[in-house]
Each structure stands twice: as structure tokens, then as C-alpha cells.
């Protein structure tokens, strides 16, 4: 099948094209910022919410995990379907509304029941945004800029988490009140409004337009971000693939998955990637870092301030990961990440065996930072990027929703079980188990994950169509420029 190769001239991209891509990226990744803030803010809010709402260990786990399941898990399925039916833009507008309602409801919750319900609503927005934002960016980006643009969403996620950690510490110092957690949770309503307003100034994805036969809008959107030669060539390939799907009357994603084994293979690989990303256990640190540090003897304020280091590490290493994406292929980076995670988790498990002291508390923090560094620099950025790239056009939104549904289910399971497991068998055994799980993740990546750098989405689709899961292309084309 014809496609645009990485070596084909891309045509002159003007300053106007670059401005459009910057505007597109900044506005759409506000969904990622909200994703990060709403998942990270609970770590500090819990320290005050425990007494204010009378939380037990079990109800604490429910409050944390309810955003993830059923909230974000169902939200991912909702977002995937909305992205196909309403478009990527329409889905993000729905996300913005859910973020706003959920944030305000969490801030005003009078009891645990209302808090859990509000967290579920917030989770719907988080899950839908997680499925839609990377997909939207991947479909809008020129092939040579796709890696950088999609991973900006991951940078916004970890920036949102860092913002949450900083906001928790600042509000803790400014507001001497046990209800300070309400302010921590309510701040998320501000970027939610910005996302809702901003999306009205963006078009939808050219691939989504093409699938609905709206070819003029597809071509017009491509020309907003590409030179004439590149836009013309890519438009021809996109419409060819779109017309092939339309002529086959492939409107039912379930039917397509039943009839086409190669589509099922891409879905299983996507589910596997989503699962191994969460099986790193990184969100045990994002959600429970202050609680873990407080349990080692640090005070509440010291734990909140120390947790800022987790957010800073995430942001810095995500930037490092984005830079590395422009220089190295995806697979080697992912394999490096999982190898580093196994080593870091073994180190973290062993630090809990040291005698209790302030030095031990900061050594545990250091081991957590090493763990987070490998996840965010080599795994978090790569998995979201790969999920946005590997699915075929006809089921892209649906398949992304399914994969992200599994991601949130695994996230919720780990987040719920983690405090109970630590209480039952201790932190050393808990992190040792995570290390063993990640050895299995390393094997999965080695055997089944393809190399996607340097090829258009349509070329990747043809690769999956023509090869089985163990014979996909594992190297990038020669002379690849960009990410």
C-alpha cells in the first residue's frame, strides 16, 4: 500500500504552520494537565481528608481508586466511542465539562459517599481525556513531529501532578484549616474552563473528517500544519485508507475485530502495553508518596514538601524522554525503562529494611525518585505514544478506549490493593512483588512491541495487516529525521 515514507520531502513548514501546531498542542493537552492534577492532588488531600471525613484504610483506598475504577475505566470506553462518534474535538469538550463538574463536586463533598460519587464523575473525564488527547495529537501531527507532539501530553500529565504536589504544599502553609483539602481539589476547575473554551478554536482531526467523507475539511485541516507538498501527499493516503474502510461498510468495531485477526492483534498488543505501564506500580508513589513518607517518621508538612521532588523528577525526566525520542528508536528506550524499573524497585524494597531514622526516610524518597525517573523518562512517554500510533483508522477511537480501559482497571486494582498489601506484608515484600511483575513486562515488550518511529499511521497499519504479532517491524527506516 502506498504511503508517505520518512525520507520523502516534507515541504516547507511556515511560521504560521508552527503557530497552529503550538496552539493545538497547548489547548488539547490541558486535558492531560487536568488528568495529572486530579490524580496527583489526592495524595496531599488525603492527609486532611482522613480526619475530616473519618476515613479508614479501606475507605481511603475506595476514595483513591474510585476515580480510577469505575470512573476512569468507564471514561476511557466513553471517550473512545465519543471520539469516533462526535469526533476528537467533541470528545474533549465533553471531558472539559466532566472535569469542571467533578472538581467542584469533590471540593464541596460533605461525606465519603458524595466524595466517591464526585471522584467517579471526575474519573469519567480523566479516562475519556486519556483516550482522546494522545489520539487527537497523533492524528493531527506531521509524521516527523508525531513523537514530540504526543509526548507533550505526557509532559502535561506529570506537570499537572507536580502542580498538584506544589499546590498541596502551598495551601498547607497558607491555610491553617482542616478543610484546606477542599481548596486543593477545587483548583482543578480553572483549567477545566480553559480547556472547554479553547477547544472551540480548533478543528477536528483530518482522519476523522476523512472517515465521514468530509474531504474538504480534512484537506483544509492538513494545510493548517503542513506545507503544500506534504499536505497533498498525506491527504491522498488518508483518503485512500478512509475510502477503503467506508466501501467495506465497516461501521461496527466489534464486527471488524471478529472478522480481521490482524486488528485483534493490534488490540491485544495495545492492552498489553497499557497493562505493563500500570504494572510498574508508579502510581503507588504518585498517590501515596506523602502517606509512605509520613509512615517513615516525617511530619505532615515535611512529607508534602518532600513529595514535590516526585513531581519535579517526573517533569524533568519526561522532558529528557521527549529529547531522547528525537534521537533513538522507541523499543530500545522502552526496554531500558523496564530494566531500570526492576533495579529501582529492588533498591526501594531494600531501603525499607534499614533502621528507622530521618536518613532512612530520605533514602526511601531517593529510591522512589529513581523509580519514578525510569518510568517517566522511558515508559510513560513511550506507552502513550505507542497507543496513539498502533491502532488502524477504522477502530482507532474504539481500540484506544478499550486499551485505556484496561490501563485504568489495572491502575485502580493496584491503587486499591497497595495500602492493604503494605499493611499486611510490609513495603519490602510489596515492592519486591512489583519487581518480579516488571521482569514479565520486559519479556512482553521484547517479544511483541513493534518499532513505530519514522512511519506514517497508514504505513504502520499496513505493517500490522501484513505481519503477525511476532514478526512486526522492530527497526525504524534508515535516515529517519524527527520523532
Lowest mean pLDDT among 1-10, 134-143, 155-164, 211-220: 1-10
* 430 has pLDDT over 90: yes
Residue 391 Ramachandran class (φ > 0 left, ψ -120 to 50 alpha, else beta): beta
What is the average per-residue pLDDT within 104-125?
Answer: 95
* 4 has pLDDT over 50: no
| Structure confidence at residue 74 (pLDDT) | 94
In tens, the pLDDT along 443-475 reads: 999 999 999 998 888 899 998 988 887 778 888
Give me the DSSP letters along 275-304.
Answer: HHHHHT-HHHHHHHHHHHHHHTT--HHHHH
| Structure confidence at residue 9 (pLDDT) | 43
| Structure confidence at residue 287 (pLDDT) | 73
The grid coordinates of residue 112 equal 465519603
In tens, the pLDDT along 29-70 reads: 999 999 889 988 888 888 888 888 888 888 888 898 899 889
Q: Which residues contact 85 (CB under 8 A, 6 or more apart)?
A: none
Radius of gyration of the chain (CA): 22
The mean predicted confidence, pLDDT, of the chain is 88
| Structure confidence at residue 103 (pLDDT) | 95
* 321 has pLDDT over 70: yes
What is the average per-residue pLDDT within 119-124?
Answer: 95
Q: How confident is the model at residue 482 (pLDDT cuts 50, 70, 90)?
A: low
In tens, the pLDDT along 156-212 reads: 998 998 899 899 889 988 888 888 999 999 999 999 999 999 999 999 999 999 989
Rounded to whole angstroms, the Cα distance separating 167 from 405 reads 29
The grid coordinates of residue 278 equal 500500570
| Structure confidence at residue 12 (pLDDT) | 58
What is the average per-residue pLDDT within 355-371?
Answer: 90
What is the average per-residue pLDDT within 365-389?
Answer: 93
| Structure confidence at residue 481 (pLDDT) | 64
With contact defined as beta carbons under 8 Å apart, do 230 and 6 qualify?
no
With contact defined as beta carbons under 8 Å apart, do 245 and 374 qualify?
no
The grid coordinates of residue 206 equal 483530518
Among the listed residues 141, 138, 160, the one whose alpha carbon sits nearest the alpha carbon of residue 387:
138
> 326-332 long-range contacts, Cβ below 8 Å, gap at least 24?
326/147, 326/148, 326/482, 326/483, 329/451, 329/453, 329/475, 329/476, 330/147, 330/382, 330/385, 330/386, 330/449, 330/451, 330/452, 330/453, 331/445, 331/449, 331/450, 331/451, 331/474
Task: Read off the pTM.
Answer: 0.80
Lowest mean pLDDT among 8-12, 119-123, 200-204, 318-322: 8-12
Q: How confident is the model at residue 121 (pLDDT cuts 50, 70, 90)?
A: very high
| Structure confidence at residue 154 (pLDDT) | 85
Please state which CATH number belongs to domain 15-202+248-466.
Answer: 1.20.1250.20
In tens, the pLDDT along 219-252 reads: 999 999 998 888 999 999 999 988 877 765 555 7
| Structure confidence at residue 7 (pLDDT) | 39
Amino acid at each position: 500500500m502506498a504511503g508517505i515514507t520518512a525520507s520523502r520531502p516534507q515541504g516547507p513548514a511556515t511560521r504560521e504552520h508552527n503557530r497552529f501546531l503550538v496552539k493545538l498542542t497547548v489547548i488539547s493537552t490541558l486535558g492531560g494537565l487536568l488528568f495529572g492534577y486530579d490524580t496527583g492532588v489526592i495524595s496531599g488531600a488525603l492527609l486532611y481528608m482522613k480526619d475530616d471525613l473519618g476515613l479508614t484504610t479501606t475507605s481511603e483506598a475506595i476514595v483513591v481508586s474510585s476515580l480510577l475504577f469505575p470512573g476512569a475505566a468507564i471514561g476511557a470506553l466513553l471517550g473512545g466511542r465519543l471520539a469516533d462518534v462526535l469526533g476528537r474535538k467533541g470528545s474533549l469538550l465533553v471531558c472539559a465539562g466532566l472535569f469542571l463538574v467533578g472538581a467542584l463536586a469533590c471540593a464541596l463533598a460533605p461525606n465519603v459517599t458524595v466524595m466517591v460519587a464526585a471522584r467517579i464523575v471526575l474519573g469519567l473525564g480523566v479516562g475519556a481525556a486519556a483516550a482522546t488527547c494522545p489520539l487527537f495529537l497523533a492524528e493531527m501531527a506531521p509524521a516527523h513531529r508525531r513523537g514530540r507532539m504526543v509526548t507533550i501530553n505526557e509532559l502535561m500529565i506529570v506537570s499537572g501532578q507536580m502542580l498538584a504536589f506544589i499546590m498541596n504544599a502551598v495551601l498547607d502553609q497558607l491555610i491553617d484549616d482542616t478543610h484546606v483539602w477542599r481548596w486543593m481539589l477545587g483548583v482543578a476547575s480553572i483549567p477545566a474552563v480553559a480547556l472547554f473554551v479553547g477547544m472551540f478554536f480548533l478543528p477536528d482531526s483530518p482522519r476523522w473528517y476523512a472517515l465521514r467523507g468530509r474531504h474538504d475539511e480534512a484537506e483544509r485541516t492538513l494545510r493548517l500544519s503542513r506545507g503544500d507538498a506534504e499536505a497533498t501527499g498525506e491527504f491522498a493516503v488518508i483518503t485512500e485508507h478512509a475510502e477503503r474502510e467506508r466501501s467495506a461498510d465497516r461501521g461496527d468495531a466489534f464486527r471488524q475485530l471478529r472478522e480481521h485477526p490482524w486488528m485483534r492483534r493490534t488490540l491485544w498488543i495495545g492492552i498489553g502495553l497499557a497493562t505493563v505501564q500500570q504494572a510498574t506500580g508508579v502510581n503507588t508513589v504518585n498517590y501515596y508518596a506523602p502517606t509512605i513518607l509520613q509512615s517513615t517518621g516525617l511530619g505532615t508538612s515535611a512529607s508534602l514538601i518532600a513529595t514535590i521532588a516526585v513531581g519535579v523528577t517526573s517533569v524533568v525526566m519526561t522532558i529528557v524522554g521527549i529529547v531522547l525520542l528525537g534521537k533513538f528508536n522507541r523499543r530500545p528506550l522502552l526496554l531500558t525503562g523496564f530494566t531500570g524499573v526492576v533495579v529501582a524497585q529492588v533498591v526501594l524494597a531494600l531501603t525499607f529494611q534499614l533502621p528507622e531514622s530521618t536518613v532512612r526516610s530520605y533514602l526511601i524518597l531517593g529510591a522512589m525518585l529513581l523509580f519514578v525517573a525510569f518510568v517517566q523518562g522511558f515508559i510513560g512517554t513511550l506507552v502513550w505514544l505507542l497507543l496513539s500510533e498502533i491502532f488502524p483508522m477504522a477502530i482507532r477511537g474504539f481500540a484506544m478506549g478499550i486499551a485505556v480501559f484496561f490501563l485504568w482497571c489495572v491502575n485502580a486494582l493496584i491503587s486499591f490493593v497497595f495500602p492493604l498489601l503494605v499493611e499486611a506484608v510490609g513495603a519490602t515484600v510489596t515492592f519486591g512483588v512489583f519487581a518480579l511483575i516488571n521482569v514479565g513486562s520486559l519479556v512482553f515488550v521484547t517479544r511483541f512491541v513493534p518499532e513505530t518511529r519514522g512511519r506514517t499511521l497508514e504505513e504502520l497499519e499496513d505493517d500490522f495487516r501484513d505481519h503477525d504479532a511476532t514478526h512486526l517491524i522492530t527497526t525504524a527506516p534508515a535516515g529517519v529525521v524527527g520523532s
